[in-house]
Structure 1
Amino acid sequence: MLMLVNCSSCHTPLQLPPGAKSIRCVLCQAVTFIADPRYAPSPSAPSSHYYQQPPPQLQGPSPYNHAPSGPPPQAHGSKRAVICGVSYKNTGYELKGCINDANCMKYLLVNRFSFPESSIVTLTEEETDPHKRPTKHNIRMALYWLVQGCQPGDSLVFHYSGHGSQQRNYTGDEVDGYDETLCPTDFESQGMIIDDEINATIVRPLPHGVKLHAIIDACHSGTVLDLPFLCRMDRHGKYVWEDHRPRSGMWKGTSGGEVISFSGCDDNQTSADTSALSRIASTGAMTYSFIQTIERGHATTYGNMLNAMRSTIHNTDEHEGGFISSLLTMLSTGGSLGGGLRQEPQLTASEAFDVYKKPFSL
């Protein structure tokens, strides 16, 4: 059984190992002692062995107070990115397209948007450097590096391709009652990375003049950055901004910066992988649609971007013969849209804006 408690200082949800009487918060380092424990069921995960052992105690200062282990890349100009592709190799929930997603996204950022290669941290299981494998600790460290020392005018990108999941929220700050999560390679032993922590690490500290884009290709990823506003758009392109600010009043926005996130699907949906098709390299459907929208010149405004991504996924495309649409029919795991999977890319933001007037830029 897994116990979920709030940090006694900053109130961040913490996952307490069975039998433990106290836990140290990774964000503020405060120690919370457990008096009257309330146990909760283990959250859902791609495997039944979700939490086998407590996380190791980190030596030295908090990872949120220094740069990633090893020589971090130097940020040149005003652009830097963290790219994670998690394939879960040699497990029962292996994904075929995530490393391709990471490689394609890096190529896009370098060649289309002039991100210096030395300002991009790439985490995949193919990396020989142990600090650049997508473990929970390494992803945490990379996210901290992403926003560390950022200045007005900086453009930051976080791309993640891998498994996503959900777990029950007991603090009352989620509209649907669930926290969204990302699954690092070692999530079975170290746990998932929950949206509260992602928000606290790369959203809330963002200062005025800094822009962050997140591209999250994972299941249940609609609000995985816990941003205050979600753009609810229908098939005709009409939209309203839903207010997802917690009823508790806790601020989930930035410190003046701007965050915009594209995610593969709504919180209650799953994202597809194109490994069912041999005619192309395996990729995540959402990452593919994101890159194709840019390559075909449809990324003019954020509204046009979102519509084009959804069109690429659901409709027959003149260049690819509707492979995504056919794929989603074959991979259907829930919902219905012409017999296929109902996967709707989502747009969330730290502030609401006119999606058809705001130009898209990285």
Structure 2
Amino acid sequence: MSGNNHIMIVARGVVCGKCRHRLSIPTTNSTEVKCPTCNNMNPIPNYEQFGNKDRSIQKLIVKAKEKISGNNPSSSQKPDSLNKKPSPLSSSSETRPAGKRALLIGVTYKRKHKLKGTINDVKSMRELLILNLGFKEENILVLTEQETEPELIPTKKNILKSLEWLVKGCQAGDSLVFYFSGHGISQPDFEGDERDGFAENICPVDFMTEGMIVDNDINSTIVWPLKKGVTLHAIVDACHSGTVLDLEHVYNRQEKKWDDNSPLSGNARKHPDGGLAISLSACLDNQVAADTTKPQISASKPFDVYKEHFVL
């Protein structure tokens, strides 16, 4: 507050609005106090009113600090699970009828190497499968760091287990989907079966300690078991993901033809057991993919993502 007819609040006391002399507030019910230096009459502030304002400001400051530090109780609450309970992992392959099954993985890597859009990617893909492609919630397994069940966190161990779940007990008529949104890395091929000399890998949340999941392991886990009449669509939104499934043929968009990607070693197997595997990748093996928080798929435009964002 300022002006000759108003006093200023300073810490726990007040000063004269004219000469800034510190004043002593009388204990009586007076509404004004006279400055002994300049004789200016100063109104006595309503401490209850200012106290309420101070408390309101203090609450705003606390909320701002909580938001910045990430300790806001409301924001720390776990979001709803994207998995229908009981977990799809508990289903028995012996009793599973032919149909549709999907594994969706989104990794944010909360500390180092953080990605912002992977959870949105998984949510959008899940919505697409349910609303447009006839998948049932109980047949969709989702792994993200937002899940509360330990087995649903996208660690290397859990991802490998979930890949086995996806194809276990598959039979003619099954339509399977594998979706991964996260980091991908290319590294030198140490097994001698890559035509370009590099192996492509996906990164689980614990890849810094447990290692990556290499393309050969992905191929042997979800491509080999595909029996006749089973179709797998793999969609990998990661860097260096062009041949991450290690399939025998890769479509060359520039020359509009299929290139031979069969292993150089005659002993290496890359083909399914009579089934069909189709892989859609965010980029070529020697390219990187961009991260975005903007939803890429919607129920109203379900197939734009294939046309605009994937290598076909």
TM score, norm. by length of structure 1: 0.58
For residues 1-362 of structure 1, what are the structure 2 equivalents within 5 Å? Answer: 71-72=90-91, 75=96, 77-89=98-110, 91-234=111-254, 239-249=256-266, 250-275=268-293, 282-283=294-295, 288=296, 291=297, 295-296=300-301, 308-310=307-309, 345-347=310-312
Kindly provide the CA deviation profile for residues 19-71 of structure 1, in whole angstroms up to 9, marking residues without a partner as x: xxxxxxxxxxxxxxxxxxxxxxxxxxxxxxxxxxxxxxxxxxxxxxxxx9962
Tell me the matched-pair count: 223
Structure-2 separation of matches of 1:241 and 1:118: 36
Structure-2 separation of matches of 1:111 and 1:147: 23
Q: After TM superposition, which residue ranges in structure 1, 4 or more long, deviate above 3 angstroms?
A: 72-77, 294-299
Q: Is the contact made by 1:73 and 1:120 (CA closer than 8 Å) also made in structure 2?
A: no
- Which one-letter code corresponds to 2:262 in the other structure? R
Structure-1 separation of matches of 2:92 and 2:238: 26
1:70 and 1:77, CA in 2 relative to 1: closer, same or farther beyond 3 A? Answer: closer
- How far the C-alpha of 1:346 sits from its partner, in A, is 2.2
Q: Is the contact made by 2:89 and 2:141 (CA closer than 8 Å) also made in structure 1?
A: no
1:169 and 1:255, CA in 2 relative to 1: closer, same or farther beyond 3 A? Answer: same
- Which one-letter code corresponds to 1:180 in the other structure? E
3-state SS of 2:185 partner: strand
Structure-2 separation of matches of 1:69 and 1:119: 6
Kindly provide the CA deviation profile for residues 211-230 of structure 1, in whole angstroms up to 9, marking residues without a partner as x: 00001000000000000111
Structure-2 separation of matches of 1:164 and 1:254: 23
1:99 and 1:297, CA in 2 relative to 1: closer, same or farther beyond 3 A? Answer: closer
Structure-1 separation of matches of 2:221 and 2:118: 23
TM score, norm. by length of structure 2: 0.67
- How far the C-alpha of 1:298 sits from its partner, in A, is 6.0
Q: Is the contact made by 1:69 and 1:131 (CA closer than 8 Å) also made in structure 2?
A: no
1:145 and 1:298, CA in 2 relative to 1: closer, same or farther beyond 3 A? Answer: closer
3-state SS of 2:228 partner: coil
Structure-2 separation of matches of 1:212 and 1:295: 24
- Between structure 1 and structure 2, the one with the greater Rg is 2
- How far the C-alpha of 1:92 sits from its partner, in A, is 2.3
Gaps of 5+ in 1: 1-67, 276-281, 300-304, 311-344, 348-362
Identity %: 48
- How far the C-alpha of 1:119 sits from its partner, in A, is 0.4
3-state SS of 2:90 partner: coil
